[in-house]
Structure 1
Amino acid sequence: MQLLSTFENTIYLEMAISILEKKGIKRENIFAVPLDNRVEERKLFDSIHKSDGTSLIDIAAALATAFSVIGVSIGFKLAWGPIFSGLIAAFIGFVIGLAIRLYTEFILKKRKRVLRGKQSEVILIIECEDREGDLVENILWEHLALGVAKVI
């Protein structure tokens, strides 16, 4: 039987390995593989095949609409008229909304993306007898494994 588990690279991984060795699992039957985590930045624009669920123009479209309504209302008093003033106000609202969204994506969310969640850093593969499977699984869960799978 093989047990596969994922861990963060912490002292709990080392403790789990040492306890497994004390319980009779040979060192040759324990295999730890470090993972390379993603370091490339997210793409700014989505493609037709892949989307991250974040829109860059949602706030921009809302502000363009609001500014154009205000621009049209004010435009009745201006020399250029309501259509041109509405278009100019819509453009200004769109640019402001796009600037807000870009600021939140690149400045605010970049900080949160670095701090958020636990990442698997090491895969631990343990070869053991079927009768030892439950003991090994319990040891892995007690030492904060992120996930455990059995292959019989």
Structure 2
Amino acid sequence: MYVVATFEQSLLLELAITELEEKGVDKQNILAIPLKVTMKQAKIMDTINSADGISVFDGATVLGSGLMVLGVIYGYVFTWGPIIWGLIGLAAGFLIGLVLDLMFRKTKREYRASKSDVVVMISCSEKQFDWVSTVLENHNPKGIGMIRD
């Protein structure tokens, strides 16, 4: 029987593996595989098939439409009229929103790069399954599963 668990790379993972070894699981029966973190390139627009949640276009359109509305409203007071001031507000808001999105996206990317996961696979007998899964559950795994031979 195999017990499979996923953990974030942390001290809790090391403590779980050490406790399993102390309770009688051989080192040859424990397999820990760190997963490589992949960085996705941000896209201008999300599509139906690939929405990564970090689209650069979203904030620019929101700020652009907001400043466009203000330009149209106050354009009645200014000399060029509401249409020209609406277009100026649209362009200015879009550029400001694009710059802000690009700045905040860099900080999100650094935060995502720091997390990595580890898959732990333990070969044990059915008698050992209960306490092996209990030891793993006590050390905050993301998930636990089992495979029977």
Give the TM-score category using the shorter length.
Answer: 0.7 to 0.9
Residue in 2 that maps onto 1:67: 71
Quick check: 1:115 aligned with 2:111? yes
Deviation at 1:35, TM superposition (A): 0.4
Quick check: 1:140 aligned with 2:136? yes
What one-letter code is carried by the residue in structure 2 that aligns with 1:63? L
CA contact (8 A) 1:33 1:122 kept: yes
CA contact (8 A) 1:9 1:121 kept: yes
Deviation at 1:52, TM superposition (A): 4.0
Residues 72-104 of structure 1 show CA distances to partners (whole Å, capped at 9, x for unaligned) of x125xx4x6xxxx32221121112221332233
Alignment of 1:13-92 (within 5 A): 13-52=13-52, 55=58, 56-71=60-75, 73-74=76-77, 78=79, 85-92=81-88
The DSSP-based 3-state class of the residue aligned with 2:127 is helix
Can you give the 5+ residue segments of structure 2 that lack an aligned partner in the other structure?
Answer: none
State percent identity of aligned pairs. Answer: 31
Distance in 2 between the 1:134 and 1:104 partners? Answer: 51
Question: How many corresponding residue pairs?
Answer: 144
The higher radius of gyration belongs to: 1
CA contact (8 A) 2:34 2:116 kept: no
What one-letter code is carried by the residue in structure 2 that aligns with 1:91? L
Distance in 2 between the 1:60 and 1:91 partners? Answer: 9
- Greater shift, 44-53 or 57-66, is seen at 44-53
- Greater shift, 105-114 or 88-97, is seen at 105-114
CA contact (8 A) 1:7 1:144 kept: yes
CA contact (8 A) 2:32 2:121 kept: yes
**RMSD (Å) for aligned C-alpha atoms:** 2.5
Deviation at 1:65, TM superposition (A): 2.0
